[in-house]
Structure 1
Amino acid sequence: MNRFVGSVGLRTYLLVTSLVSIGAILLSLFISYRKMFLTLDEVLWLTIVTVGAAILSLIVHWIMTRPIERAIQLITKQSQQVAEGDFGGELPLIGPVEFQAMAGNFNQMSRKLNESFQQLHSSEASRRELIANVSHDLRTPLASIQSFVEALQDDLIDDPATYKRYLSTIRLETQRLSGLINDLFDLSRREAGAESFEPGAYHLDNLIVETLQSHLLQIEEKGIEVEGDIPEHLPPVSIMPSEIKRVVSNLLHNALRHSPDGGKIVIRALMPEDGYVKVTVEDQGEGIAEEEQVRLFERFYRTDQSRSRASGGSGLGLAITKSIVEIHGGEVGVSSKLGEGSLFWFTVPVVKR
């Protein structure tokens, strides 16, 4: 019996079941006649009615089971396509309500699988890009250090001033390498959720002033004018001060790096409208193309590869900035046009009273 069920389709199986039921009825009529419960005429009439009803039932049954068979065939075909990695198909909602619900659930599952595989492909591409960028960024300072060390070991440098300059370059490249490794380690810990999050009430005006003071030397060297626009009665925000200070520092550092000598940087804090304070850092730099703005906060992405590397940027600052802001429940973004400077912004939540 199990072998028979496994070798036929659902439609045939249902038809055979109906025939078995009809056969049982006819057998009952025959037994009734043999036991003298019914006369021969009664048995003949009942048999004719039963066979007629059976034929009509089989015809209706054959027609009514067609949508079910069609739905099963479509689900089977789509399942094979999914098994082969094709998630683009959609099942039509046909047949009984139960089969329509099954088709709807199948389509939803297929879409989610497609999204998951797209994310996997994207993650794999990002991983390859990350490895390539890390390899390049590690190789460059290491090659520089190696070449200068070999020159010093081979006694090729006799001039004391040149000797000191070589040592200074080695120190700078070592610091650059150390900073890159620290940024990588820091970003990995944040993405893994290893950093504890213990926010407290803090005033952003104090934090912004402290950050400006730490960049005072760079500001004076480039002759940058810094303008602050911070409301007097700005409410306290729920943050980890050291982390948000790093966010402001990263944005200010980028603004200083891309601003022309004698340029201007404006830092603003906007009063909350939806329970968040918005901080903006605006510069007069060269601006950023619109198609590049969506990738700015990716790891190792740079709008100008050669210049960014030459200026010491690791390409991780904005990725870390985004990670910190999102942990606080805020958002980060940029608005920029080529030749008109850039405005970076982030939001942090106000302390709930």
Structure 2
Amino acid sequence: MNRFMGSVGLRTYLLLTSLVSIAAILISLFVSYRKMFLTLDELIWLTLVTVGAGILSLIVHLIMTRPIERAIDMISKESQQIAQGDFRGELPLIGPVEFQAMAVHFNEMSRQLNESFQQLRSSEASRRELVANVSHDLRTPLASIQSFVEALQDDLIEDPDTYKRYLSTIRLETQRLSGLINDLFDLSRREAGAESFEPEAYHLDNLIVETLQSHLLQIEDKGIEVEGHIPEGLPPVSIMPNEIKRVVSNLLHNALRHSPEGGKIRIYAQMPKDGFVLVTVEDQGEGIAEEEQVRLFERFYRTDHSRSRASGGSGLGLAITKSIVEIHGGQVGVSSQLGKGSEFWFTVPVVQR
């Protein structure tokens, strides 16, 4: 019986239920006639009424169950589409109120699944790009080190100055490789939440001055004019000083790398707004295209202008910067136009008194 019921549709199931009810009524009438509870005329009359009501009930069932059957059929087809990875369909709001509510929830589920799969596809594309970039950035210094070491091993270099230059190049490439690995390890720890967060009250003017002093040689080598502006009465901020110093250092390093000889860099802070201080580093570099700005803070992403080995940079500095700022509850961003320089900014919270 269960196997039979499992092979029929809902509409047939409801019609069979109506027919069973009518048959039960007719059997009751026949038994009543045999027991002399009804006369023959009463039996005929009641039988006609029952059959007529049954036919009318069947017609009503056919009409009323049509929207339900359509709704179930559409849900089934959309479920098959979802199973095949197509989330573009949407169920219409037809049938009883319960089926309309089901359609609303089904459409919401389909939309959320579509968003989840889009994120998965995007993550997979980013993972492939990350692996390709890591492979490139690791292979290049390793190949350079290998070629120079082989030249030294084969005794091809006899000039002492050239010998020292080769050793110096090997050391620089080794430092570059070590820096890249350290940055990767650091970023992985931060994204995994392994870094403890212990902020303290600190003044930004001291932090910015200390960061500028650590870049003094680079600033003088390029003849860059640095202008700083910290408003008087700027309240202390709740930060981990070494971490935020790294943020300022990363932004300043980028500004120095992309600024022309004899250019100008501005570092300034603005009074708190909504409990956060805004710090901006402005340069006079080549600028960044609008379509590239949204990806600047991704791991290993670099604009075409800075992708060459000569310009340096592992592509992890801005990703680490974003991670540090977000740990502090702030935000980071960029505003730039091609040929008009760039403004990188971040926010840090004020100490709550």
Q: Same fold (TM over 0.5)?
A: yes
CA-to-aligned-CA distance 1:310-350 (integer Å, 9 cap, x gap): 23210110111111111222111111111111000111122
Is the counterpart of residue 98 in structure 1 residue 130 in structure 2?
A: no
Q: Deviations over 1:270-296 (max 9, x none)?
A: 112212111110001111111111111
Partner of 1:180: 180
Q: SS at 2:110's partner residue?
A: helix
Distance 1:313 1:250, change over 3 A: same
Equivalent residue number for residue 112 of structure 2: 112
Residue ranges of structure 1 left out of the alignment (5+ in a row): none
1:176 deviation in Å? 0.3
Partner of 1:170: 170
Identity across the alignment (%): 88
Which SS does the other structure have where 2:344 is aligned?
strand
Structure-2 separation of matches of 1:234 and 1:161 = 53
Question: 1: CA distance between counterparts of 2:241 and 2:334?
Answer: 22
> Equivalent residues in 2 for 1:263-342 (5 A)?
263-304=263-304, 308-342=308-342
3-state SS of paired residue (1:65): helix
Quick one: distance in 1 between partners of 2:145 and 2:133? 19
Q: Structure 1 length normalisation: TM-score?
A: 0.97
Q: Which position in structure 1 is the counterpart of 2:81?
A: 81
**1:218 equivalenced with 2:215 (yes/no):** no
Secondary structure of 2:285's counterpart equals coil
Q: Secondary structure at the match of 2:53?
A: helix
Give the secondary structure class of the aligned counterpart of 2:343.
Answer: strand
| SS of structure 2 residue aligned to 1:155 | coil
Q: Displacement, 1:307?
A: 5.0
Distance 1:56 1:272 in 2: 77
Q: Bigger CA drift: 100-109 or 67-76? A: 100-109
The answer (yes or no) to whether the contact 1:302–1:308 under 8 Å persists in 2 is no
Q: CA deviation at 1:305?
A: 5.9
- Aligned partner of 1:28: which letter? S
One-letter amino acid of the counterpart of residue 343, structure 2? L
2: CA distance, partners of 1:29 / 1:231:
99
2:41 maps to 41
Compare 174-183 and 150-159 and name the one that shifted more. 150-159
The 1-side partners of 2:282 and 2:256 are apart by: 10
Let me know the Cα RMSD of the aligned residues. Answer: 1.3
Q: Is the 8 A contact 2:306 2:312 kept in 1?
A: no
Residue 224 of structure 1 and its aligned partner are, at CA, apart by: 1.0
Q: Given residue 332 of structure 1, which amino acid in structure 2 is its aligned partner?
A: V
CA contact (8 A) 2:183 2:316 kept: yes
SS where residue 252 of structure 1 aligns? helix
By how many angstroms is 1:104 displaced? Answer: 1.2
Q: Which amino acid aligns with 2:112?
A: K
- Within 2, Cα distance between the matches of 1:270 and 1:288? 24
Q: Which amino acid aligns with 1:84?
A: Q
Check 1:297–1:306 CA distance in 2 against 1; reply closer, same or farther (3 A cut).
closer
Structure 2 gaps of 5+ residues are none
Q: Hey, what's the Cα distance between the residues in 2 that align with 1:209 and 1:83? A: 59
Contact 1:176 1:312 in 2 (8 A): no
Q: Could you say what secondary structure the match of 2:272 adopts? A: coil
Misfit runs of 4+, over 3 Å? 305-308
Please give the secondary structure, in 1, of the residue aligned with 2:265: strand
SS of equivalent to 1:271: strand
* Mapping of residues 12-161 of structure 1, within 5 Å: 12-161=12-161
Change (3 A) 1:307 1:19: closer
- For 1:260, the equivalent position in structure 2 comes to 260
In 2: Cα distance, 1:199 partner to 1:11 partner = 67
